[in-house]
Amino acid sequence: MKEVIRSQRLGEQYQKILHPSGLTILLYPMEGFKSAYALFATNYGSVDASFKTDKDEDFVTVPAGIAHFLEHKLFESEDGDAFERYAKTGANANAFTSFDKTAYLFSCTDHFKESIEILLDFVTHPYFTPQTVKKEQGIIGQEIRMYDDNPDWRVYFNLLGALYHVNPVRIDIAGTVESIAQIDADLLYRCYHTFYNLHNMTLAVAGNFDPDVVLDAADRILKPAPKQELTRKVADEPDTVRTTLVEQTLPVAIPLFQIGFKGKAGKTERENLWGKTADEVLLEIIAGDSTPLYRRLLEAELINQTFEGEAMANRDYSLTFYSGESRDPKRVRDEIATEILRLRSEGIDPQLFDRVKKAVYGRYLGAYGRPEALAGLMVTAQFADVDAYEILEMLASLTLEQLNQRLPVSFDVERCALSIVRS
């Protein structure tokens, strides 16, 4: 089944194909580009620690880090490594695991046909043995230990651990040395067949390529996947933060900080996508680089150019945070909290709202001109059950009244935590 998704706002379109295998394929040819970018993703990330299908009697809970472990293992096969195959095509290949998705990708200027065939082939042909699993445990164990000493990584996950009591988002995506020691080949196959079912996956391709080449490869390589009902267990997470302050000592020139606010997740992934988009505007309104607060903090040398804000929302979590470097992180937190309370009391300035909304809209608009960003947007939108143009429509229709109502939900100073890494 083929559908053409159009945007009157941009005057552009892309194809959405529900392939007979069950895979959703999104194709966005872009004139004038030399390279193509492909992203093959499954709606499965590190937070999916407890789940069941319609064939299971009860929920199964798996060790932390298994989604990331699977990502590493899929590149291996009986015939060799997928990276070795890509080396022959000249494509740049990679993969990543996040809290809510796992994705395999490549970009290339030549030999697109061979590269898309490699991508579809190795992701759909798992190969795990006790010996290769044990070897990978050693490799990932070293990676985990390395990140344990990484200040940027620690300040981030220390914040998540402060905000959340039990939600798996508080656990390192790679898991722990102890948790990955529990992983075996049987567990990997169980998670693979549950979450790498093609009905739970999306292939997005953008840039310079022939859509027929993608569809031909899919027809030859992909086999029909059985339909299944998948239920993810929702963590019974309290509304409160676990602790308001966490500090760690590591070698840093200037203390690192993250100031986080625990929000409330929406009932659907579309609601979460809207909430994240609205929160990105609020982050700029509160302490973006065009605000009086930002200038005051900068002039007082309480922050520097590393200061920035980020919003996250998916499944059953939602949060916003500011990060940066400061010799007095607690004062930065207090200044931000004071500004939030002022905005809640006085309301958001309409002119500031208009200016920030246009800036955020422009930032997203730019993503539609970059194949790698566009492929990522298509996958994010598909997993939220909307089309790739919906984010622009959400921003365009965002009102001042909606943001004033959203502010106390996403930026509750009583649900705030501060993470500091200092030497």
Contact predicate 230/128, CB 8 Å = no
Listing DSSP states for 181-219 in one string gives: TT--HHHHHHHHHHH--GGGEEEEEEES--HHHHHHHHH
d(CA 377, CA 375): 5
Close Cβ partners of 74 (under 8 Å, ≥ 6 residues apart): 82, 95, 104, 122, 123, 126
Close Cβ partners of 373 (under 8 Å, ≥ 6 residues apart): 366, 367
Q: Is 355 helix (H, G, I), strand (E, B) or coil?
A: helix
Pick from 405, 407, 374, 371: nearest CA to 391: 374
Tally of residues, the chain: 423
397 strand-pairing partners: none
Residue 269 annotated to the active site: no
80 strand-pairing partners: 77
- The single residue of 71, 269, 325, 390 carrying the catalytic annotation is 71
What is the residue type of 37? Y
Which residues are known to be catalytic?
A: 71
